[in-house]
Amino acid sequence: MSETRTGWPHGRTTWILGTVVLFGIGILVGALLGNIWLGLLLAFIVSIGWAIAYESWRGRNVGIYDRDDDGAQL
């Protein structure tokens, strides 16, 4: 019988805290620029990159070199 993992995934708390901090910084930057919505938009864009980088790090795929993978080369 295989065991399935349910519940709160390991590392999810760090990801959520990082996202909240990014949105807080976005609100601060937006307030300094005079437009909160612009700050939130910038925070949203950066948080997408944060999510991709964090999931890549969790998946242990950072820094893997594959000479046969030419997807990034034009």
Asked whether residue 14 is domain-assigned, the answer is no
- H/E/C letters for each residue in the chain? CCCCCCCCCCCHHHHHHHHHHHHHHHHHHHHHHCCHHHHHHHHHHHHHHHHHHHHHHHCCCCCCCCCCCCCCCC
Counting the structural domains of the chain, the total is 1
Asked whether residue 3 is domain-assigned, the answer is no
Asked whether residue 7 is domain-assigned, the answer is no
Q: What is the reported pLDDT for 50?
A: 81
Asked whether residue 6 is domain-assigned, the answer is no
Asked whether residue 13 is domain-assigned, the answer is no
For residue 63, pLDDT over 60 is answered with yes
Asked whether residue 36 is domain-assigned, the answer is yes
- Give per-residue pLDDT as tens, 1-58: 455 666 666 667 877 888 888 888 888 888 898 888 888 888 888 888 887 777 777 6
N-terminal to C-terminal alpha carbon distance within the chain? 47
Asked whether residue 54 is domain-assigned, the answer is yes
Domain holding 41, by residue range, is 26-58
Q: What is the reported pLDDT for 61?
A: 55
Please state the pTM of the whole predicted model: 0.58
